Chains A and B, each alone.
Chain A
Amino acid sequence: QKEVEQNSGPLSVPEGAIASLNCTYSDRGSQSFFWYRQYSGKSPELIMSIYSNGDKEDGRFTAQLNKASQYVSLLIRDSQPSDSATYLCATQGGSYIPTFGRGTSLIVHP
């Protein structure tokens, strides 16, 4: 059974701080890794994808992948109240069928 684990939170950080969201996965055959953001009552939207070990930066977001440890993380710098949402981690193998974690709720307070 493929599993993606995330701490459900909520993770509460002050405005301007760095939010660190973590995810572990069980399937060593996973090749693609994604972070989605989901606001309450809305569908998920893609934030970042990462495919190789290391860091990938896009604006205030940095995704980190460590395949040996089966670990993916998302850092949000200069967190804003508008970043408050649920963040979903997803992995995919060769079948292109994604496996989603249950999501981490992030609260950025002014």
Chain B
Amino acid sequence: GAVVSQHPSRVICKSGTSVKIECRSLDFQATTMFWYRQFPKQSLMLMATSNEGSKATYEQGVEKDKFLINHASLTLSTLTVTSAHPEDSSFYICSAGGGRTDTQYFGPGTRLTVL
């Protein structure tokens, strides 16, 4: 299967700081990337859909000014959590799909802890 990486895998930051998470498709070109958030023992929650070269589409209730998404190339999308607060602590996961391939492949996730 296709390989998707995420960096960093774990980050601890102070309240008020911004954190950038990178998602890369390593062996295919991803025209679409998705960003999810998952709280402990809860289901995946889709935050936004990111298409290369265009603005991300955010799900209802997700603040686009707080969660900045950039999909500048076919292999890289970034999620920046701006002015992070403890309630933003969660497991953030990206997935990527390429071209006519509709299968989504997940990155390993980034665990964010905001103190």
Residue among B32, B44, B49, B93 with max Cβ neighbours from chain A (10 Å): B44
Asked if B106 is an interface residue, CB under 8 A from chain A, the answer is yes
**Contact between chains at B102 and A96 (CB < 8 Å):** yes
**Contact between chains at A97 and B49 (CB < 8 Å):** yes
Bound: A97/B102 CA distance, A:
9
**Contact between chains at A43 and B1 (CB < 8 Å):** no
Closest to A102 in B: B43
A interface residue count range (under 10 / 10 to 19 / 20 to 34 / 35 or more): 20 to 34
Asked if A60 is an interface residue, CB under 8 A from chain B, the answer is no
Distance to closest chain B CB from A61 (angstroms): 14
**Contact between chains at B43 and A34 (CB < 8 Å):** no
**Contact between chains at A98 and B109 (CB < 8 Å):** no
Bound: A41/B103 CA distance, A:
22
Closest to B104 in A: A98
Q: Choose among A45, A101, A103 the residue that contacts B106 (Cβ–Cβ < 8 A).
A: A45
Complex interface: chain A residues within 8 A of B44 (CB): 44, 88, 100
Closest to A6 in B: B43
Asked if A80 is an interface residue, CB under 8 A from chain B, the answer is no
Binding site for B on A (CB under 8 A): 31-32, 34, 36, 41-46, 49, 88, 90, 92, 96-98, 100-103
- 21 residue pairs from A and B, CB less than 8 Å apart: A32-B102, A34-B103, A36-B106, A41-B91, A42-B109, A43-B91, A43-B106, A43-B108, A45-B106, A46-B1, A46-B106, A49-B103, A88-B43, A90-B104, A96-B32, A96-B102, A97-B49, A98-B104, A100-B44, A101-B43, A103-B43
